[in-house]
Amino acid sequence: MECRAGCGACCIVPAIHTPFFGMPDGKAAGERCAHLTVDWLCGLFNDPRRPACCAQFQAEPEYCGNDRDMALILLTGLERESDPTR
């Protein structure tokens, strides 16, 4: 599956626990990444400063659903299930 233009769910939902360019404290779950553009695209796509976890994420129907709203729901569920503090 190709990444859905105008979605940005993967730039909002997951926590990133390590510092990265522009976000020295990482990113909390549900926090909008500083590099998410106004048109919901990754501003660091194909940039070596992009976090490895972001570069490794692959858009798949089971994560992204059929639209942005479903992607937000599915990724939020995965984030909750994988949270080591819960």
What does the block give as tokens for 46?
């194909």
Would you state the pLDDT for residue 2?
87
Q: Is 85 a residue whose pLDDT tops 80? A: no
Mean pLDDT (the chain, rounded): 94
* pTM across the whole model: 0.90
In which band, very low, low, confident or very high, does the pLDDT at 83 lie, cut at 50, 70 and 90? confident
Domain ranges of the chain: 9-82
8-48 pLDDT, tens per residue?
Answer: 999 999 999 999 999 999 999 999 999 999 999 999 999 99
Q: Which residue in 73, 33, 79, 80 sits closest to 54, CA to CA? A: 33
61-75 pLDDT, tens per residue?
Answer: 999 999 999 999 999
